[in-house]
Amino acid sequence: MSRPARRRVAVVGTGAIVSGSHLPALRAHAERVELVAAVDVDQGRLDAFRALAGEDVAGFTSVDEMLDAVRPDLVLIGTPPSLHRAQTVAALKAGAWALCEKPLTLSLAEYDEIAAAEEASGAYASVIFQHRYGSGAAHARDLIASGELGAPRVAHCQTTWHRDAAYYAVPWRGTWASEGGGPTMGHGIHQYDLLLHLLGPWTEIRAMAARLVHDTESEDVSTALVRFGNGALATVVNSVLSPDEVSRIRIDCADATVELTHLYGHRNEDWTYTPAPHVASERADAWRTPTADVPSSHAAQLGALLDAYDNGVRPPGSGADARATLEFAAALYKAAFTGQPVTAGEIVPGDPFYPAMHGDHPHWAPKEHA
């Protein structure tokens, strides 16, 4: 069977996430992709990126101009969140697949615009949730889904990071219009996306949120209690107020506890399995992480997307699967701001939390909406 032609790729945004994560991912798959264009409104930053990526990469300051001139197969989007929807829709309309940094959109309403653009174009849009793609995560998911660890019962999902005032001095941070929310949308989303990936659909959320330190429109900490369809109960914490930074998921099943502890990415060694007292040692030995060690990374997710492209199928991290993570965020905000439990599927057109994560709540909406 012949190898598919190298896919022609463009990047939109040339800042740290593209230079530091997307460019190495492209280089890791150099036999499958060719970087042909880059877009940035800042000419100096664009020139610096082209010097890093290669002078044969065409430079543009307009997404539409690039799409018309280059017609790429795949567009990687690493711009501020408020630009994601429009740039993703533009890529889809041009017939290109898109792989976009999180959050893909700032609301469920915007996400459904992307779904409509997918249907019209036949192309697909995925969101970067790279923690799903490490070998340790794939192994844990297989063990849980197969029932090998017993029924999931209790879980904890923790993103306790630290961001200072200088971090929020960047103009596009800390507002609903620019980011869609605080650490619930911009930081903890990676961890609870992985929790959903491991445990499956949730059914009910109760939550709290607060602005304890930072002068922002959105929260700087949120907590949630979550009931899953399989009966498991979980806690979720999203914080940028925590000096001792850690990212952690723990799932207690009937026969074992599986735990992941890391910060911004994981390897096999970051996963541990603790058997229940009644479990035989030879059975527990079979749970150990696989010999192949694939770190969670943009490169791992890009490889999965290219496999889907080659096979003409919807890529992972897109469609209803990716929407479920955004719905979790919207439900957490609704539960926190209204003080009422929220059930899966209840946020639909007509609900104030469908077009905006703040739900026009008088204590949380931007001042012009309050």
| Cα–Cα distance measured from residue 207 to residue 105, given in angstroms and rounded to the nearest whole number | 22
170-185 tens-digit pLDDT: 988 999 999 999 999 9
Task: Say which amino acid occupies 206.
Answer: R
Both ends of the chain: CA-CA distance in Å? 60
pLDDT at 370 over 50: no
Report the pLDDT value the prediction gives residue 369, as an integer from 0 to 100: 44
Report the pLDDT value the prediction gives residue 368, as an integer from 0 to 100: 64
Q: DSSP characters for 100-115? A: EPSPS-SSHHHHHHHH
Let me know: does 180 contact 219? Beta carbons within 8 Å. Answer: no
Instruction: Give the up-direction half-sphere exposure of residue 290: CA atoms within 13 A in the CB hemisphere.
Output: 14
Cα-Cα-Cα-Cα torsion 185, 170, 65, 35, nearest 10 degrees, comes to: -70
318-331 tens-digit pLDDT: 999 999 999 999 99
Report the pLDDT value the prediction gives residue 3, as an integer from 0 to 100: 66
Rounded to the nearest integer, the mean pLDDT of the chain is 96
| Cα–Cα distance measured from residue 301 to residue 265, given in angstroms and rounded to the nearest whole number | 13
* Residue 256, beta-bridge partner list: 275
Band (158; pLDDT cuts 50, 70, 90) = very high
Q: How many CB atoms lie within 10 A of CB 275?
A: 16
pLDDT at 354 over 60: yes
3 state SS of 257: strand
Tokens of 361: 């709540």
| Cα–Cα distance measured from residue 164 to residue 240, given in angstroms and rounded to the nearest whole number | 8
Let me know: does 37 contact 70? Beta carbons within 8 Å. Answer: yes
| Cα–Cα distance measured from residue 137 to residue 267, given in angstroms and rounded to the nearest whole number | 9
Mean pLDDT calculated for residue range 117-128: 98
| Cα–Cα distance measured from residue 125 to residue 241, given in angstroms and rounded to the nearest whole number | 33
Quick one: which H or E segment has residue 236? strand 233-239
203-248 tens-digit pLDDT: 999 999 999 999 999 999 999 999 999 999 999 999 999 999 999 9
| Cα–Cα distance measured from residue 14 to residue 47, given in angstroms and rounded to the nearest whole number | 9
271-312 tens-digit pLDDT: 999 999 999 999 999 998 788 999 999 999 999 999 999 999
Long-range Cβ pairs for the range 258-261 (8 Å, 24+): 258/140, 258/143, 258/144, 258/149, 260/136, 260/137, 260/140, 260/194
Task: Say which amino acid occupies 4.
Answer: P
| Cα–Cα distance measured from residue 295 to residue 155, given in angstroms and rounded to the nearest whole number | 23
